[in-house]
Amino acid sequence: MSAKYLVTGGAGYIGSVVAQHLLEAGHQVVVLDDLSTGFREGVPEGAEFVRADLREAGRHLDASFDAVLHFAASSQVGESVVRPEKYWENNVGGSLALLTAMREAGVRKLVFSSTAATYGEPETVPIPETARTAPTNPYGATKLAVDHMITSEANAHGLAAVSLRYFNVAGAYGDRGERHDPESHLIPLILQVALGRRDHISVYGDDYPTPDGTCIRDYIHVADLADAHLLALDAATPGEHLICNLGNGSGFSVRQVIDTVRQVTGHPIPAQVAERRGGDPAVLVASAATARDRLGWSPRRADLTTIVTDAWDFARRRA
Ligand SMILES: NC(=O)c1ccc[n+]([C@@H]2O[C@H](COP(=O)([O-])OP(=O)(O)OC[C@H]3O[C@@H](n4cnc5c(N)ncnc54)[C@H](O)[C@@H]3O)[C@@H](O)[C@H]2O)c1
């Protein structure tokens, strides 16, 4: 059955891919985005676009909406350390305004973009949702605060809510892919080397307790992530705040990612080992058991070559 959704942050990387999937499933989509880091051309054809700040969501929401998918946020970890106030204001202040607008409009279903950064340094790997949450940067702290806010909204006011805690999102879906500026994610950074925009890729530490000494991360294809959002809309239950990690459940080391980019692009990708960065855990891998059991989700594009090939096709087309 066709439904109507508000997608905040739908001009950004992940929000635009999910908006495209919603349209392909026959739903009506309104994108609300202030274009602070997103792009007007990222909004898929067929979606209505409202250029507005999250705090103005109340003017655009009414009872005709079935749910909100909330991607809009500031999400640069490094920036959050030097400008924490921006993160508390935008991520926490903006989400609070959105929850109020939803309550007033009678829109009682939410899917929220949470993050692996809510956990901080893991005590066990793969990381389950019951793991201790101890974020190591303001970005993760603000996302955790929003998760707490959503839990209390579900308990007190019956909101049906699902938080999806993404691990490392990568890959592209047709014309929609990663365009962060500055870019901080590994795969698009390595692809910049392949495109001749950087001389080399820096490997931050090669003496971690992992098989090849470099950090291991869990990469998930953005189209698999989109599938999980559609399933989350079906699984959301009034009065419950369900939290699900989203990852492939298997990790790849920085060296494995560089090698895969070499194979896919045919470029030698010079790599230079640099000092470790503070706060980088050796291994971050999700347990996706809850997403499998509660959403019926499993990744269909878990293979690193597929993820890198899709990201490379997108990067080349843009170049
Ligand atoms: N990319 C990842 O690997 C990753 C991992 C974990 C979680 N997340 C979360 O997923 C979400 C989407 O991430 P992304 O990589 O697509 O980022 P993005 O920067 O590409 O998209 C965010 C979008 O939100 C918009 N926005 C920001 N603040 C706004 C505001 N106050 N009002 C209206 N619009 C606003 C931006 O213009 C942008 O279009 C974010 O919440 C992020 O924290 C991303």
Query: Which pLDDT score is estimated for 1?
Result: 83
Q: pLDDT category, 232, cuts 50, 70, 90?
A: very high
Rounded to the nearest whole angstrom, what is the distance from the C-alpha of residue 106 to the centroid of ligand 1? 25
Measured CA to CA, the distance from residue 144 to residue 65 in angstroms comes to 26
Q: Which residue has the tokens 């058991």?
A: 289
Q: Give the amino acid at 310.
A: D
Q: Give the amino acid at 49.
A: F
Measured CA to CA, the distance from residue 246 to residue 228 in angstroms comes to 8
Say whether pLDDT at 223 is over 90. Answer: yes
CB 88 within 8 A of CB 138: yes
Active-site entry in 13, 139, 166, 208? 139
Measured CA to CA, the distance from residue 241 to residue 312 in angstroms comes to 36
Rounded to the nearest whole angstrom, what is the distance from the C-alpha of residue 37 to the centroid of ligand 1? 8
Say whether pLDDT at 101 is over 90. Answer: yes
CB 14 within 8 A of CB 222: yes
Query: Which atom of ligand 1 is nearest to 139's Cα?
Result: 43
Say whether pLDDT at 279 is over 90. Answer: no
Query: Which atom of ligand 1 is nearest to 114's Cα?
Result: 7
Query: Which atom of ligand 1 is nearest to 72's Cα?
Result: 24
Rounded to the nearest whole angstrom, what is the distance from the C-alpha of residue 211 to the centroid of ligand 1? 33
Is pTM beyond 0.85 here? yes
How far from chain centre, in Å, is Cα 236? 19
How high is the mean pLDDT of the chain? Answer: 96
**Over the stretch 108-151, which tens digit does the pLDDT of each residue have?**
999 999 999 999 989 999 999 999 999 999 999 999 999 999 99
Q: How far is CA 193 from CA 65, 153, 190, 251, 271, in A?
A: 43, 45, 5, 23, 10
CB 99 within 8 A of CB 84: no
**Over the stretch 31-69, which tens digit does the pLDDT of each residue have?**
999 999 999 999 999 999 999 999 999 999 999 999 999
Say whether pLDDT at 280 is over 90. Answer: no
Mutate to test the pocket of ligand 1, among 7, 13, 90 (most ligand atoms within 8 A of CB): 13
Residue ranges in 4-125 assigned as alpha helix (H): 13-24, 77-82, 84-87, 94-105
Using left for φ > 0, alpha for ψ between -120 and 50, and beta otherwise, residue 8 falls in beta
Q: Give the amino acid at 20.
A: Q
Query: Which pLDDT score is estimated for 205?
Result: 96
Measured CA to CA, the distance from residue 12 to residue 179 in angstroms comes to 8
Say whether pLDDT at 313 is over 90. Answer: yes
Say whether pLDDT at 309 is over 90. Answer: yes
139 is catalytic: yes
Say whether pLDDT at 103 is over 90. Answer: yes
Rounded to the nearest whole angstrom, what is the distance from the C-alpha of residue 71 to the centroid of ligand 1? 5
N-terminal to C-terminal alpha carbon distance within the chain: 39
Q: pLDDT category, 7, cuts 50, 70, 90?
A: very high
**Over the stretch 145-181, which tens digit does the pLDDT of each residue have?**
999 999 999 999 999 999 999 999 999 999 999 988 8
Retrieve residue 74's tokens: 């500031």
Report the DSSP beta bridge partners of residue 8. Answer: 32, 70
CB 72 within 8 A of CB 9: yes
- Mean pLDDT for 76-89 is 95
- What H or E segment, with its residue span, contains residue 146? helix 138-157
Measured CA to CA, the distance from residue 65 to residue 197 in angstroms comes to 43
Rounded to the nearest whole angstrom, what is the distance from the C-alpha of residue 272 to the centroid of ligand 1? 30
Which of 297, 165, 300 lies closest to 223 in space, CA to CA? 300
Pocket of ligand 1 (CB under 6 A): 8-9, 11-15, 33-38, 53-54, 71-75, 90, 94, 113, 115, 166, 168-169, 180
Mutate to test the pocket of ligand 1, among 113, 137, 218 (most ligand atoms within 8 A of CB): 113
- Mean pLDDT for 268-273 is 97
